[in-house]
């Protein structure tokens, strides 16, 4: 592959020729795995999911496929919206729940009352 692919890549402007003791050699980042990376990225852009791409490439784990073969390119990123900086956090969602024990007291009391009613009904046979 390096006798054909690498010289073709250098001739296309994707590398350079190095002079060695026995002639010259094409030096480029283009190689066989370049096609695997490009293929994985194109499949994701066509809305294939991680498991489909993982199986297509023959990987054991879809996480490996995502970490190794999918590249987020600049054109894949949405443009940031700086049009309304005065909004601050107004459009933000609520903070993530870190624990069920972090609920406000009124919610916890309501949940306890509901639980007590359920236990009372169960004991009463209803």
Same domain, 21 and 40: no
pTM of the complete model: 0.48
Range of the domain at 1: 1-30
Same domain, 65 and 37: yes
Same domain, 25 and 37: no
Same domain, 19 and 7: yes
Q: For residue 97, what pLDDT is reported? A: 60
Which residue stretches of the chain have pLDDT < 70? Answer: 1-2, 70-77, 82-126
* Element housing 33 (H / E): helix 32-45
Q: For residue 33, what pLDDT is reported? A: 81
Does residue 53 lie in a domain region? yes
72-97 residue pLDDT tens = 656 666 777 766 555 555 555 666 66
Q: For residue 60, what pLDDT is reported? A: 93
Q: For residue 117, what pLDDT is reported? A: 47
Same domain, 36 and 26: no
Query: What tokens were used for 115?
Result: 């639980």
Same domain, 52 and 65: yes
**Burial status of residue 62 (CB atoms within 10 A of its CB: 0-12, 13-18, 19 or more):** middle
The answer for residues whose C-beta is within 8 angstroms of residue 57's C-beta and 6 or more apart is 36, 39, 40, 65, 69
Same domain, 26 and 47: no
Neighbours of 27 (CB within 10 A): 13
Total domain count for the chain? 2
Does residue 36 lie in a domain region? yes
d(CA 47, CA 61): 18
Same domain, 38 and 69: yes
Q: For residue 54, what pLDDT is reported? A: 92
């Amino acid at each position: 592959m390096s006798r054909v692919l690498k010289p073709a890549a250098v001739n296309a402007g994707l590398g350079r020729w190095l002079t060695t003791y026995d002639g010259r050699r094409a030096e480029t980042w283009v190689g066989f795995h370049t096609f695997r990376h490009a293929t994985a990225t194109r499949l994701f852009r066509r809305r294939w999911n991680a498991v489909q791409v993982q199986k297509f490439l023959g990987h054991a784990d879809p996480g490996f496929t995502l970490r190794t073969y999918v590249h987020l390119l600049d054109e894949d990123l949405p443009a940031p919206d700086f049009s309304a900086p005065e909004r601050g956090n107004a459009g933000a969602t609520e903070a993530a729940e870190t624990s069920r024990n972090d609920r406000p007291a009124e919610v916890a009391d309501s949940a306890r009352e509901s639980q007590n009613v359920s236990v009372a009904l169960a004991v009463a046979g209803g």
